[in-house]
Structure 1
Amino acid sequence: MARTTPLGAVARGMLAGAAGTLAMDALLYLRYRRGGGGEGFGPWETAATVRDWNDAPAPAQVGRRLVEGLFRRELDPRWARSANNATHWAYGMLAGAQYGLVVGSVARPRIGYGVLLGAGLWGAGYVVLPAAGLYRPITEYDRVTLARDLGAHLLYGVTTAAVFAALGPGRSSCRAG
């Protein structure tokens, strides 16, 4: 079986993570449209309606805290939309990079590992974001909301795993299970 270098695994993982992020966002956008949302995909995907920190979602708030903590200065509200987009995509791609490092080192990578990736990211979000004051505790969400969110994260994970497998060496040894 052909092996990839750690750098190659990171690069493949980042590309796969971008594909996973896009798949997850496509699902979330379909749900948005089915729920009566009328915004086009481009403006919805890039958070065109976010104007300041008051209406900024969790990814923007995380990005804000990272920048303000690192540079020790307040980030202007005009950066809320950019912070949202950069943090959202960076998180998906960095999770893919980590996935690539781990799965790139196993003898028999499986696309099913994406289920573990998606479920792990989902669970981590409900630990880290409430601790940061950006989400309510998991016990305060109803089962339908949690299940829908888990489903979107599972799609991210499986898409990331499938794209990672398709992009590199050892493709023929990757198994679906």
Structure 2
Amino acid sequence: MMRGIRQMRSAGGRPQTPLGAVLRGSAAGALGTLAMDLLLYRRYRKDAGKSGFPRWEFSADVQSWDQAPAPAQVGKRLYEGLFRRELPDRTAALVNNVMHWGFGILNGAVYGVLAGSVPVPKSRYGAPFGAGVWGSGYVTLPAAGLYEPIWKYDRRVLAKDLSAHLVYGLSTAAVFRTLDYVRRPRR
């Protein structure tokens, strides 16, 4: 153990640095985001969506801020507030992707720190994690004027959104645990 810095323990009981937990959590968050997107894409196709996965995934049909979903709107506000410059419509799809994937990866890093802080991280920790990510959106996005308050959505909409975030959380947790097991100490 290093002086002044408490090392985390991995699932195999091996020491794990905070940076290692953040990196594994970030990678797990990226794969969790992909798992969630695959579920959402499947639903989109089931509802008669016509675009192929790459076009859908990278928001190719988003041509303006009026069409842009909440992640893009948050990114637009952050950029314009920070730099005091307006973003053109042509950047809406890019900003949507950066924010969506960035949020998934950043939340994965947070998960890595939390899960890396317990003696043995469990995949089941992903369910409350995913639910927490889902719930935070229904607190922050209405406050930002981008969503309605949660009570204005019907149960079906909320259930579909929650289930997608549960897939994200459980996938992130399973990947984190798997990456923790396959990690080998240097000799």
TM tier, smaller: over 0.9
Partner deviation per Cα, 1:66-99 (whole Å, 9 max, x = no partner): 1111111111111111100000000000000000
Structure 2: runs of 5 or more not aligned:
1-12
- Residues of 2 paired with 1:97 and 1:151: CA distance? 21
User: TM-score scaled by structure 2?
Assistant: 0.89
Amino acid at match of 2:52: G
Name the stretch that deviates more: 150-159 or 75-84. Answer: 75-84
Please name the residue that 1:175 is paired with: none
- Residues of 2 paired with 1:161 and 1:72: CA distance? 38
Equivalent position SS for 1:55:
coil
- The structural deviation recorded for 1:3 is 2.2
Query: How many residues are treated as equivalent by the alignment?
Result: 171
Q: Indicate yes or no: 2:131 matched with 1:119.
A: yes
Equivalent position SS for 2:24:
helix
Q: Indicate yes or no: 2:36 matched with 1:24.
A: yes
Please name the residue that 1:132 is paired with: 144
Partner deviation per Cα, 1:22-41 (whole Å, 9 max, x = no partner): 00000000000000001000
Q: Indicate yes or no: 2:23 matched with 1:11.
A: yes
Any conservation in 2 of the 1:3–1:169 contact (CA below 8 Å)? no
Partner deviation per Cα, 1:102-144 (whole Å, 9 max, x = no partner): 1111112111110011000110100100110111111110001
Please name the residue that 1:98 is paired with: 110
Aligned structure 1 segments of 4 or more residues deviating by more than 4 angstroms? none
Structure 1: runs of 5 or more not aligned:
172-177
Amino acid at match of 2:34: L
Q: Percent identity?
A: 60
Amino acid at match of 2:103: Y
Q: CA RMSD in A?
A: 1.2
Amino acid at match of 2:144: A
- Residues of 2 paired with 1:58 and 1:52: CA distance? 13
